C-alpha cells in the first residue's frame, strides 16, 4: 500500500509473497494474515484465498465500509476467510456513512469504531480510526492469542474456535450477518448486554470490545466498474 491505497498488482504480489513465506517456514499453524482492504467482487481474489486456504493459511479480512452487502466485495465474500464487521461501543453495527458492510458472508463482528492505533508517522504517534479495517485486526489478534494460549492449530480448527468462543445474538442491526461478537473466552469479562452477575468486570479486558465515542467512518472503497482486475487502486477499509 502507498498510504491508504495501492495498485492491484502490488496488493496481489504482497499477498502471494506472504502466503509463500508462511508455507516455506512451516508456520501455517501459527501465522495469520490480516487483510484490512477490499475491492469489488473478484474471481482473482476468490482463487487466491482458496489457494492460501488449501495450503493451510488463514486469512482474516474486513467486511468493507459501504453500508451494503459484503457479498459484492472481495476478499470479504470468500468463504474461507473470517470476514469481520464493525460494531460500536453499544454493540450496534456501525451504519450510515462509512457503515459496516453486512450479510451472510460476514462471519463475526468486533470493535471498529474510534480505535486508537500506533501510527507510521512516529514512534509515539497514534491514529484514531473507524472502519472494518480496525475490526478485522482484533480478530486476527484473537487468532494469535488463542494459538499462544492453547497451542498451534490448523486454520480450520482455530477458525472454529473463534466462532465457538464468540458471544451470540448481542449485535443489533446485523442485517443478515452472522450474529457473533468476538470474545477471547475470559469468563471474568462480560459483553455489553449480557452480564453474568449484574455487573461488568473489565479488569482483564478482552481488547475486543469498543471503548470509544461513536464517530463517522472514514474508509470507503474506491469505485470500480467490475472486478479487481480492472481497477488501478485499492482502498484501506
Query: 35-87 pLDDT, tens per residue?
Result: 999 999 999 999 999 999 999 999 999 999 999 999 999 999 999 999 999 99
Mean pLDDT, residues 109-125: 95
Regarding predicted confidence, which is higher, 2 or 143? Answer: 143
Residue with cell 509515539: 124
Q: Which of 89, 15, 85 is closest to 53 using CA atoms?
A: 15
Residue boundaries of the structural domains of the chain = 33-183
DSSP 233: -
Query: 126-159 pLDDT, tens per residue?
Result: 999 999 999 999 999 999 999 999 999 999 999 9
What pLDDT sits at residue 186?
87
Q: Is 129 strand, coil or helix?
A: strand
Query: 174-219 pLDDT, tens per residue?
Result: 999 999 999 999 876 554 444 333 333 333 333 333 222 222 233 3
Contact (Cβ atoms closer than 8 angstroms) between residue 76 and residue 64: yes
**Hey, which CATH number is domain 33-183, 3.50.7.10, 3.40.50.200, 3.40.50.12590, 3.40.50.360?**
3.40.50.200
What pLDDT sits at residue 237?
56
What pTM does this model have?
A: 0.80
Amino acid at each position: 500500500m502507498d498510504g491508504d491505497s495501492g495498485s492491484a498488482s502490488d496488493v496481489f504480489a504482497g499477498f502471494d509473497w506472504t502466503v509463500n513465506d508462511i508455507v516455506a517456514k512451516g508456520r501455517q499453524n501459527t501465522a495469520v494474515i490480516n487483510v484490512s482492504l477490499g475491492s469489488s467482487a473478484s474471481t482473482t481474489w476468490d482463487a487466491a484465498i482458496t489457494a492460501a486456504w488449501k495450503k493451510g493459511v488463514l486469512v482474516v479480512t474486513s467486511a468493507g465500509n459501504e453500508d451494503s452487502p459484503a457479498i459484492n466485495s472481495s476478499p470479504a465474500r470468500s468463504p474461507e476467510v473470517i470476514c469481520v464487521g464493525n460494531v460500536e461501543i453499544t454493540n450496534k453495527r456501525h451504519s450510515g456513512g462509512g457503515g459496516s458492510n453486512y450479510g451472510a458472508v460476514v462471519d463475526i463482528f468486533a470493535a471498529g469504531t474510534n480505535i486508537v492505533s500506533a501510527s507510521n508517522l512516529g514512534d509515539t504517534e497514534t491514529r484514531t480510526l473507524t472502519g472494518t479495517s480496525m475490526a478485522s485486526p482484533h480478530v486476527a489478534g484473537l487468532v494469535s492469542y488463542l494459538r499462544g494460549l492453547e497451542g498451534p492449530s490448523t486454520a480450520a480448527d482455530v477458525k472454529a474456535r473463534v466462532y465457538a468462543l464468540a458471544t451470540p445474538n448481542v449485535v443489533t442491526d446485523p442485517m443478515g450477518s452472522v450474529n457473533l461478537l468476538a470474545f477471547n473466552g475470559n469468563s471474568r469479562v462480560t459483553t455489553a448486554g449480557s452480564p453474568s452477575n449484574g455487573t461488568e468486570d473489565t479488569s482483564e479486558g478482552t481488547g475486543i470490545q469498543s471503548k470509544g465515542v461513536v464517530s463517522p467512518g472514514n474508509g470507503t472503497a474506491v469505485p470500480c466498474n467490475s472486478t479487481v482486475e480492472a481497477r488501478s487502486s485499492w482502498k484501506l477499509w
